[in-house]
Structure 1
Amino acid sequence: MPQPPGTEPHPRGHGGDGSELVPGIPLPQSYQHQERQKLPDRALPPAIPHGPTRQGPEPRKPNGPVRHIELVPESEVQDDPNAAPRCSRSTGPAQRAVEEYLDREADGRQSAGDCQAIATFQRQQRIEPATGFAGPVTGAMVRLLQARKDPNLVELCPNRNERVVCVDLSRQLLWVQQDGEVIFPPVAMRSGRPTMETRTGDYRIYWRNKNHTSSLYHTPMPYAQFFDGGEALHGVYDDIYAGTGSHGCVNLAWEDSKRLWGLLQKNDIVHVWGRKTGV
């Protein structure tokens, strides 16, 4: 299920010194107010029809590109969004992984050269602020790019002669494969938050609704493809890297959910495994 727009906080993490990480660009007061509101606990899923696919009207498109906001130490928040980002001296939780990906010396410690290389990478991937701090968003982007060569390298998703949607909770990635071939390359996804985790197991898509609205949270679920009770694959309009998680659904960037809708059909397999770490 979706997270209500503007009410979900970014995922919290910790820097190399153990300090809490916060969004690197100040968020509007209205966002901060709603962020503190208590969200409902998991409820029984509403009755979902088991009928034919509902095409409906085309879901509205996002208003421009979605920004990926990195989490940084509170002391490094960019108060002035128009100012040139200051290069971070801090070691982020994804430091070593990002160093390895960028062919830097993987010593897990920030340096001036590391900062410049990471900041360049962040600008290329539209991660803001591009301060060179290797936070959880930058780390997630590296995991996605690494997975594109062979997402099923350790064969945790079954190869079958029918389409299988592979939902890797550990890496927060989704792809589709058939007959040993990846037919939908890995994309970032967002699974359930703590206490509302996306359930693991094998499922089949049993109902599809192109322009669904949640009856529990009254929020849009574009290109919804239900596979387990009230849990569905569907698009969202916010940053896929934001928040501690969904209400159980597998959230996808809007464009990715649209492409997945065009590929899948009712009765396709959804295989979910792993455990979300929040890092």
Structure 2
Amino acid sequence: MKRTLPALLVCASLLVVAGPPAVAVAPSPTVAVRHASARAVTQPSVAYGPSDLVPGLPRTVREPGRQPHIEYVPRSEAQRPGTRACSAATGPYQRQAERYLGREVDGRQSAGDCRAIRRFQQAHSIAPASGFAGPVTGAMVRVLRARKDPNRAGHCPDRAERTVCVDLNRQLMWVQQDGRVILDPVAIRSGAPTMETRTGTYRIYLRHRRHISNLYGTSMPYAQFFDRGEALHGVYEDIFSGAGSHGCVNLTMTDARRAWEVLDKGDIVHVWGRKPGV
């Protein structure tokens, strides 16, 4: 895939620079209760889009401290923001949530399932904590399940050098060295369709704590560049929002800071797989 030089020099989120893509709405309409400008978030067989946002909510809110991860929920539930009602709907990641939480894995929502999923959402800052197992809840389950043995499939090379392992299939990143994980798996947001993060093995060649995109003027905090302008860096918006980056590996601010403290120039970055939906 060819890119212009300016595009290679920046990897700011598409949330800043592009209009919303076409969206295929799922058979049972679902919507996002959001506090930020939204983009299509695609999971296998299910699509969610900005046309389904609840009207009247503010478009941009920057909250201090720990930022909530905004879950996608059924339209009927999104119409009543702040409700304490437990969702009766079965989410697309129901089975994954049931398995992780030790519930009966039948893929059907029950009152007990909802209470367990809701507690999980509250513990991990997922809002609304309604017990609906949407894609954000599924992604959080994926992160936590990976922590036991992230390299179980052996896709990331075991080296004596510090190695950043970027798994596009699961949208996860961790750091390992000598067979030991030194930075636990964290959620990432990789490149959007047509701007996919390139796979391969690279080395960090430039680090800039307060990097500013020279094309869009957007902030790329804790930037660690590894391949022709693609970098690991933090983002201020929700890591689970949007179609993706311009090719960079986006991290939460907390995770970007931790990666900055663990890594250094010359460390290896190994990227493999394909982002779901691209």
- TM class by smaller structure: 0.7 to 0.9
Q: Go from structure 1 to structure 2 and tell me whether the alpha carbon gap of 1:276 and 1:32 turns closer, same or farther (over 3 Å shift).
A: closer
CA distance in 2, matches of 1:162, 1:174: 16
Corresponding residue number in structure 1 for 2:59? none
Identify the residue that residue 70 of structure 1 maps to in structure 2. 71
> Which residue matches 2:200?
201
Tell me the distance in 2 between the aligned counterparts of 1:196 and 1:117: 37
* 2:271 matches 1:272: yes
5 Å-filtered alignment, 1:1-279, equals 1-3=11-13, 18-23=27-32, 25-27=33-35, 31=37, 63-81=64-82, 84-278=83-277
The Cα of 1:275 is off from its aligned counterpart by: 1.1
Measure the CA separation in 1 of the matches of 2:24 and 2:120. Answer: 21
TM-score (norm 2): 0.81
Check 1:79–1:62 CA distance in 2 against 1; reply closer, same or farther (3 A cut).
closer
Local SS of the residue matching 1:234: strand
Residue of structure 2 equivalent to 1:40:
none
Report the alpha carbon displacement of residue 63 of structure 1 after superposing the two structures with TM.
2.7
Distance (Å, rounded) in 1 between the aligned partners of 2:180 and 2:80: 46
In 2, Cα distance between the equivalents of 1:175 and 1:193?
Answer: 21
Structure-2 separation of matches of 1:219 and 1:5? 11
Counterpart CA distance in 2 for 1:80 and 1:7 is: 28
How far is the alpha carbon of 1:259 from its aligned partner? Answer: 1.3
Residue identity opposite 2:103 in structure 1: R
The answer to whether the Cα contact below 8 Å between 2:38 and 2:242 also exists between their aligned partners in 1 is no
1:146-202 deviation line (CA, Å, top 9, x unaligned): 111111111110001111100001111110111111111111111011111111111
Superposed CA RMSD in Å reads: 2.6
User: Unaligned stretches of 5+ in structure 2?
Assistant: 1-10, 40-48, 51-61
Task: Tell me, in whole angstroms, the C-alpha distance in 1 between the residues paired with 2:188 and 2:151.
Answer: 16
Distance 1:253 1:152, change over 3 A: same
How far 1:106 moved relative to its partner? 0.3
For 1:190, what is the secondary structure of its paired residue? coil
2: CA distance, partners of 1:152 / 1:250:
19
Deviations 1:20-39 (A, max 9, x none): 4321x2546xx369x97xxx
Query: Could you list the per-position Cα deviations for residues 58-96 of structure 1 after superposition, in whole angstroms to 9, with x for gaps in the alignment?
Result: xxx983221110011222205333xx3322121111100
Post-superposition offset of 1:5: 5.9
Q: How much identity, in percent, do the aligned residues show?
A: 60
2: distance between equivalents of 1:171 and 1:179? 23
Q: What is the count of residue pairs matched by the alignment?
A: 246
TM-score normalised by length of structure 1? 0.81
Distance (Å, rounded) in 2 between the aligned partners of 1:62 and 1:225:
26
1:183-231 deviation digits (Å, cap 9, x = unpaired): 1111111101111111111111111111001112221000100111121
CA contact (8 A) 1:170 1:274 kept: yes
The verdict on how the C-alpha distance between 1:91 and 1:192 changes in structure 2, with shifts beyond 3 A counting, is: same
Q: Distance in 1 between matches of 2:14 and 2:192?
A: 13
Contact persistence 2:14–2:246 (CA under 8 A): no
Deviation at 1:245, TM superposition (A): 1.0
1:5-29 deviation line (CA, Å, top 9, x unaligned): 66787xx8976xx334321x2546x
CA contact (8 A) 1:117 1:132 kept: yes
Question: What's the secondary structure of 2:160's corresponding residue?
Answer: coil
Shift of 1:278: 4.5
Check the 8 A contact 2:14/2:245 in 1, yes or no: no
Distance 1:21 1:267 in 2: 45
Q: What is the DSSP-based 3-state SS (H/G/I as helix, E as strand, rest coil) of the residue aligned with 2:188?
A: strand
Conserved in 1, the CA contact under 8 Å of 2:163 and 2:269?
A: yes
Structure number with higher relative contact order (C-alpha < 8 Å, ≥ 6 residues apart): 1
The letter of the residue matching 1:110 is Q
Q: Which amino acid aligns with 1:74?
A: R
- For 2:6, the equivalent position in structure 1 comes to none
